[in-house]
Structure 1
């Protein structure tokens, strides 16, 4: 009997493989952008606050548009959305390269370009995540999510290393140029005629605002989704968001180089990659909610220890274990959400999940850099965030008995 596409092994599924390759190019380019722009802000602009402002500029417009990204993903072909997003981001990166190469980049221009880049990403995330359940069988969802998570982490390992080497041996402008080329390659692999995504199903004609309200109502009706959103907010505000802005500050505080920055960011990626490999090989079938909560607990405890570590070597080691733990929050939760969400509303639910994951990042960026700018040590700020996150975990754990059994 001929094997149906949705029953094929993942790496024989043509659509899945093309998305996989496109994702690697896109994330390597994006991680190079983040590493390079963070180092540029710290060294060329000589300001801890500049790092926070750039990250906030990339995040706030993204959040504003995120909720509508899910509405668009439910109305139009997801591959078309992803292609247009990647192509436009490549153009923005090339413009950024030209400004840096000609020594004309100001903080204002950087904030505008970062804002546009982040705004576009608001459409890519919900589209790509909601496409996965359309192209793989339901029983393959955890493995598919783990493969994509693993690809992301390989990319986040490779990207910072390439960026560090380019900045160390060529220039900051050279790093931006390589990132530009990689994002354009991603657009080629996600070109809609290559993917041949099925047509969007018929939907009730209603306003985008009503579509948005339907998405929020759907999430509010699910205890699992509500508890999961609190878990994601806690992880990303108290740990992941703080790490993004703290890593370059810690490297600068300890007198490190761009390569030290690359090694720390790569170590985080290696930890997440190892966790993804484990979850790709072993499918969790019971108590995935409990796994999500214990992953959050491990991340917070390790983050508190990370805040107390006095050297770049040990920071690089501990950030590996933080990355490993975080995967056990993301993948089990995303898999259950995809399995149990109706297809016609998948994009909106994914956009709300992405919003919860990233909605408080600007506050985290601003809080960390603001306190550091007033003279508080970055280590003390991180320690305080870790302890606060741990207190929230205890409250959630005590109230989430039903969530733990899913």
Structure 2
């Protein structure tokens, strides 16, 4: 395996992995602050509906360009691509801060920033997802995915307060500046992370972008584990993203829980997801990972449906904790199995496929989720989304190669 880390050392004690984790955490917090600043600036410049459109428009280039971003990550190496795309992301956010300081940009300018950020994200996300496979051994991938999940939870917890502080002390421009600083801080830390070259038997011939994309899709389609696993991940993401994002806001409004009630529910989800990530970080390996993944996602789907039936904030918080625990465990295991099965030469392209729905396509379903909830209520919408997610879990459960899949030990 082409890594420079000490293979005998667990990932959570490996200096190289810890440097990567520090860079990833700083960048993730910066992303969270950026989205808060963008939302706030859009609300100030237009109506809530227009603000929602501005924040969602960045998903369009991610959906259209993500597969090409996976080719770029594999062709030039994920570390180099993460460094370059992070620098561009930092520059874009600095530009947004400058626009706010110099003038009052309209929705079109903010939308342009969101679209450009989404374009760069289409390259950044596959590379960021593929990088763990190049900095540690295959037997440490579950632990690294757990560490990544902890960083994501930390970014969610800290991003809101930091974004609010940035706006309070420096206005929206200050919040954008803080986001740029956090993304920028990740660059020198990531620069210190070293990866080795691919071994000769893993290297692929350089071809046109479309040819390399076809090679990646062919590799995925012919792999008996990756093919059903990617279908399962896509269905699970489609069923999960709507209810656990826009759906929670609509549920809180429908039940009269208010923003504080929604905050408690989100805290329950974050606690459960963080617990799942901590478990993987400390344990490192889960026996019968494919079966555990499928059962966890199936249980999480049932919990998503139950969330809309909770009669109080306390009950919803407890159910959300279960959703976070089960879906967090399933998501981390699917990420580890994907990287282990794809191999380093195809990690970027396969990661692009696995993240395409969750980061690119699923956010585009928010208008449909909102319309359906307004017509039929949140209960049927949560149930329908949960059923879709459950179908994904059943795909993994019924695919013998996925069900029997093990993480390297």
Q: For the superposition of Structure 1 and Structure 2, which TM-score range results when normalised by the shorter chain?
A: 0.7 to 0.9
Instruction: Name the SS of the counterpart of 1:343 in structure 2.
Output: coil
CA separation of 1:140/1:59 partners in 2, compared to 1, >3 Å: closer, same or farther?
same
Distance change >3 Å, CA 197–CA 91, structure 1 → 2:
same
In the alignment, is the contact (CA less than 8 A) between 1:157 and 1:265 conserved in 2?
Answer: no
8 Å CA contact retained: 1:55, 1:362: no
Shift of the alpha carbon at 1:314? 4.9
1:198 alignment partner in structure 2: 196
- Secondary structure (helix, strand or coil) at the match of 1:195 reads coil
The answer to whether structure 1 residue 376 and structure 2 residue 378 are counterparts is no
Alignment of structure 1 residues 278-293 onto 2, 5 Å: 278-293=279-294
Question: Structure 1 residues 265, 383: CA separation in 2 closer, same or farther (over 3 Å shift)?
Answer: closer
1:28, CA displacement in angstroms? 0.7
Q: How does 1:1-400 map to 2 (within 5 A)?
A: 5-38=6-39, 45-48=46-49, 50-51=51-52, 53-100=53-100, 104-167=104-167, 171-191=171-191, 194-199=192-197, 203-250=204-251, 254=256, 256-257=258-259, 265-309=266-310, 314-371=315-372, 375-376=374-375, 379-380=378-379, 382-389=381-388, 392-393=391-392, 396=395, 399-400=398-399
- C-alpha contact (below 8 Å) 1:100/1:172 kept by paired residues: yes
Structure 1: segments with no counterpart, 5+ residues = none
Shift of 1:288: 1.5
- Cα distance change, pair 190–139 in 1 and its aligned pair in 2 (3 A): same
Q: Give 1:210 shift.
A: 1.0
* Post-superposition offset of 1:165: 4.9
Q: Distance in 2 between matches of 1:42 and 1:382?
A: 27
CA distance in 1, matches of 2:311, 2:96: 35
* Cα distance in 2, alignment partners of residues 195 and 283 from structure 1: 21
8 Å CA contact 1:49, 1:370 repeated in 2:
no
Q: How many residues align?
A: 398
| 2-structure distance, mates of 1:64, 1:327 | 26
Per-residue CA shift, 1:110-160, capped at 9, x if unaligned?
Answer: 222112112212222222232222221222221122112212222222212
Q: Supply the distance in 2 between the matched residues of 1:55 and 1:332 (Cα, whole angstroms).
A: 30
Change (3 A) 1:55 1:405: farther
Segments of structure 2 that go 5 or more residues without pairing to the other structure are none
Deviation for aligned residue 1:213: 0.6
CA shift in 2, pair 1:22/1:286, >3 Å: same
Describe the shift of the 1:313–1:200 C-alpha distance in structure 2 as closer, same or farther (beyond 3 A).
same
Q: Kindly indicate whether the alpha-carbon contact (under 8 Å) linking 2:142 and 2:336 is maintained by their aligned counterparts in 1.
A: yes
Higher deviation after alignment, 135-144 or 205-214: 135-144
| 1:310/1:35 CA distance change after superposition, 3 Å | farther
Deviation by residue 1:340-363 (Cα, 9 ceiling, x = unmatched): 323322222222222244343134
Out of 84-93 and 27-36, give the one that drifted further.
27-36
> Alpha carbon RMSD of aligned pairs, Å?
3.1
SS in 1 for 2:142: helix
Where 1:205 maps in the other structure, the secondary structure is: coil
Cα distance between partner residues in 1 of 2:195 and 2:85: 17
Residue 170 of structure 1: how far off its partner (Å): 6.6
1-side partners of 2:103 and 2:245: how far apart? 26
How far, CA to CA, are the matches of 1:171 and 1:309 in structure 2? 38
TM-score by length of 1: 0.85
- Displacement of 1:181 in angstroms is 1.6
TM-score by length of 2: 0.85
Whether the 8 Å CA contact 1:167–1:175 is kept in 2: the answer is: yes
What is the CA deviation profile of residues 63-91 of structure 1, one whole-angstrom value per residue up to 9, with x for unaligned ones? 22211112111121322211121121122
